A and B are shown apart, each in its own frame.
Chain A
Amino acid sequence: MPDLGEGITSGEIKKWDIKKGEHVEEDQTIAEVETDKAVVELPAPVTGTIEDLRFPEGAKIQVGDVIVTIREEGAPQKTAPVPEARKPEVTPPVKVPVLATPSTRMLAKQLNIDIEKLQGTGSGGRITDEDVKKAAAKPAAAPAKAEVPRPAPEDLEQRIPLRGIRKTISENMMRSVSRTAQVTLVDDADLTRLVELRESINQKLAGKAKVSYLAFFVKAVVTALKAHPMVNVSVDDEKGEIIVKKYYNIGIAVDTDRGLIVPVLKNADRKSIIDISKELVELIETTRSGKIGLDQLRGSTFTIANIGSIGGLFSTPVVNYPDSAILEMQQIRETPRAVNGIVVARKVMYLPLTIDHRIIDGAEGQRFLNDVKMYLEEPELLLAGMA
């Protein structure tokens, strides 16, 4: 069916005015086609004999469908009419082209701006990069607005722009979830001895310093990472390579009033538990005060989060991409536990470990977690430098 204009793309064959084998003259009506606008008479494009009617009366046809073949007189079979449904190849009308350099036209394309519609502010009406950027910065056109739900009265809803740290957190979380295959393994550890050891050390330090649970966790994790190098990894998605890291930078998830921020404790393997404790205090304070530098937020190889101070039984932390694993510290709870056949009250913590299952198999993750658990349950091993 030829392009009938006025945006008509389809129609229905109301009636054939000719039969197979009949002779037709050019421009003789061969069919009546009903479109959503009108009934249109289709003329024969050539003089000849009807070879085939491709559709019955009542059939739906599209612009560009071959509906009839006509053997042109004195010529081989000609299929007609076969005009194009769309006109991608029709030479555009000759006109003075838009006044903008190729790079400005590329910019418009990238920003999805129809450069033909812009008024240039440059010399002689030249469209500049700035003109294009200005057009791109304008609010979306009316149809897009219509799709946005009508805002509720202010007292029922409040709209807060997603920006700043919240936007970064949101993007990081989505990137982590969309690029990795995360699975969470949960174990628990009896921290009774760790609690006693920490108290005894802090008594001895007598206020000169204080060791934190977090510092023991950092040390336990680093020690276990050394035994399980394939947990201290990230994936270079572009090159398709696994990067095995021989340095141990531990990200510490810090809750601030601006949102979750993860500063990094660098080279934790080279530091003592007391040094780690001191550094963590500074790092967390700097973070909460908003004075943390960008270089202190980069380069983690493994992350520890601590939700235990707030509560909860256990959680499923999201990997701090591009790290491949994250350990959550839960609450230490006094729990009945069987020790040598006798039920006693022990100080127990759930330990959820989320791993990127693309790289770390469940078995390897659990072996790593077993080691962390061992070092936490027998913290003397850490002090003895068995790391």
Chain B
Amino acid sequence: MVVGDIEVGTDLLVVGAGPAGYTLAIRCARMGIDVTLVNRNELGGVCLHKGCVPVKTLLHVFRLAEDCKNASGMGINSDGVSVDFKKAYAWKDTVVKRLETGIRELCRGSGVQVMEGTCSFTSSSSATVNGPSGTQHVVFKRAVIATGARHKPLPGLPFDGKQIIDPNEVLSFDEKPEDIILLGGGYAGVTMAALMVAQGKRLTFIHKNSQIMSFLDDDLLQPVMKKFKEKGVKIYSSSSWSVKRSGDKVIVDLGQDGKKDSVSADKLVPVIGMLPNTDGIGLENTGVRTNKDGYIMTDGNYRTDDRALYAIGDARDRHCNASKAFRDGMSLADILSGKPGWPEYIALPQTISTEPEIASAGLTETAAKNAGIEVITGKFPFTASGKAVSMGKTEGFVKVVAEKSSHRILGVHVICTDAFDILQEGVLAIEMGARLEDIALTLHPHPTLCEAIREACAAALGTSTNVVPGSS
């Protein structure tokens, strides 16, 4: 140890303060465990700083402006409504800052010791933290790796901030109307595409799979694809691509069904997957093992091959998801305090900030059929919802998937404005093992968007009075 260094001793070292890490740290501290939380920069992780929260905040601003413009028929004088990008981004920063302050206060109030810096393990019981106040050595009894994940760059084409853009930087794009190519058709790609469309970019969207977000049923995507096309987004599906720079343009050559095609733009945003932040943190000095993609391998109780080290959140799971990360944190906190941890969840809610929004939980019709489960489905379009009509937002529908024999609800998929906020009835139904009848026989407040979930269940049972049979 270098003379003059300060050695910090802690019972539990938590590396990374995203949803998984800070939830774990706060809960452990409240249960009386001595916790030190190390974080590279701000508290809150990708979710708060580069993902869910800022994206949703900016989209809210852009959509508010658009809603006003579209509301002239409702009597709103919206001449001259526009978004001041600078102020919108400042508002986003205010939102993020406020929420971060909340997390910081929760940590402080719960007795979590927060250290800022980059953490690197030096053994199974020690680490160094390089921060603004120099290098500190930390000795711990147990440690939790919650370092999250980052966007994967294109092989051989690192992000350069000019032409090849890290998806995180989309959050600070200005109002210049540029041509942009987005590569990748996953969950994050679609979200970024929606944001860039709102920012007024001329977007070309290239994806490799036969469809965008192949984990969803085709029909769930139609309202979103329709909206993209209305906004002038060009969509390509390609079995292969190659990227090159040419002057101040980026060119993508596509191999499409044997044909060759070429697209050029000012900027390229590759959203081709995530890389776990498990490199450069000294795992080679521990017994932790990672799989070929770098994700940390653990047992069912989040424990790595190094018995003193645990891993939670995106660093161990390619299904990057904040809801899941919060739960990992809660569950491991219980395990570390000698309890059995939380049971497996059944439904993982997924929220996709498109227009209209997509919120989905449980099995899709396709997934159930592929697994040999006989299902019935029910759909209810928002064109038949009093609330949606009154808001002038009738795009989308609710689709429920239920086991044919038992009517047990296995999947609920909502496509509409504010879909995130009405999905939860479906998540609870799946977790509780509710049947279509349970929801259909439950009173719903009126007029609301959530009535659509009841109506979809009723439609599956053939008892809906609000749609014409066979119309969906």
Contact = CB atoms under 8 A, between A and B. Distances in A.
B443 interface: no
Given A99-B433, A124-B406, A126-B433, A94 B370 contact: yes
Given A84-B297, A88-B299, A88-B300, A93 B371 contact: yes
A241 to B, nearest CB: 12
A106 B341 CA distance: 8
Nearest to B31: A238
Contact of B340 (A99, A109, A124): A109
A127 to B, nearest CB: 9
A106 B432 contact: no
A77 B370 CA distance: 36
Contacts of A115: 343
Given A88-B297, A95-B371, A96-B408, A105 B343 contact: yes
B155 A76 contact: yes
Interface stretch (B7-15, B141-149, B195-203, B287-295): B287-295
Contacts of A84: 291-292, 297
Given A105-B343, A238-B32, A94 B367 contact: yes
Contact of A94 (B292, B342, B368, B433): B368
A106 B368 contact: no
Q: Range of interface residues on chain B?
A: 35 or more
A102 interface: yes
Contacts of B403: 96
Interface string B71-90: 00000000000000000000
A79 interface: yes
A88 B346 CA distance: 16
A96 B300 CA distance: 21
A126 B432 CA distance: 10
Nearest to A66: B292
Contact of A95 (B292, B341, B373): B373
B235 to A, nearest CB: 28
A89 B370 contact: no
Interface in A89-145: 89, 93-97, 99-102, 105-106, 108-110, 112, 115, 124, 126
Contact of A112 (B291, B340, B346, B432): B340
A238 B31 CA distance: 9
A108 B343 contact: yes
A109 B408 contact: no
A92 to B, nearest CB: 9
Interface string A157-195: 000000000000000000000000000000000000000
Contacts of B435: 124
A200 B336 CA distance: 64
Nearest to B289: A64
A225 B410 CA distance: 68
A214 interface: no
Interface string A72-92: 000010010011111011000
B298 interface: yes
**Residue among A84, A85, A93, A94 having the largest count of chain B Cβ atoms under 10 Å:** A94
B317 interface: yes
A94 B297 contact: no
A109 B342 contact: yes
Contacts of B317: 89
B219 interface: no
A108 B367 CA distance: 28
B363 interface: yes
A94 B373 contact: yes
A101 B431 contact: yes
A76 B154 CA distance: 13
B230 interface: no
B208 interface: no
Contacts of B300: 88
A146 to B, nearest CB: 25
Contact of A101 (B318, B408, B432): B432
Contact of A110 (B155, B292, B297, B340): B340
Nearest to A104: B343
A106 B343 contact: yes
Contacts of A108: 343
Contacts of A93: 371
A100 B430 CA distance: 10
A64 B298 CA distance: 14
B344 interface: yes
Contacts of B410: 96-97
Contact of A124 (B343, B371, B408): B408
A83 B292 CA distance: 7
B51 to A, nearest CB: 21
B199 to A, nearest CB: 34
A82 B297 contact: no
Nearest to B433: A99
A85 B340 CA distance: 25
Contacts of B368: 94
Nearest to A108: B343
A230 to B, nearest CB: 25
A99 B342 CA distance: 17
Contacts of B339: 110
A109 to B, nearest CB: 5
Contacts of B291: 82, 84, 89
Interface string B337-368: 00111111110000000000000000100011
B59 to A, nearest CB: 30
A94 B403 CA distance: 13
A82 B343 contact: no
A102 B431 contact: yes
Contacts of B373: 94-96
A246 B317 CA distance: 56
A88 B155 CA distance: 27
Interface in B121-144: none
A124 B408 CA distance: 10
A266 B342 CA distance: 45
Nearest to B343: A105
Contacts of A88: 297-300, 316
Contacts of B316: 88-89
A239 to B, nearest CB: 8
Contacts of B295: 89
Contacts of A238: 32
Given A82-B292, A93-B371, A96-B410, A101 B342 contact: no
Contacts of A100: 433
9 A-B pairs with least C-beta separation: A94-B371, A105-B343, A82-B292, A99-B433, A97-B346, A109-B340, A109-B343, A84-B291, A101-B432
Interface of B: 32, 155-156, 289, 291-292, 295, 297-300, 316-318, 339-346, 363, 367-368, 370-371, 373, 403, 406, 408, 410, 430-433, 435
Given A64-B289, A79-B292, A106-B342, 6 more contacts: A82-B292, A86-B297, A88-B298, A89-B318, A105-B344, A115-B343
7 contacts: A84-B291, A85-B297, A89-B291, A109-B343, A110-B340, A112-B340, A124-B435
Interface of A: 64, 76, 79, 82-86, 88-89, 93-97, 99-102, 105-106, 108-110, 112, 115, 124, 126, 238
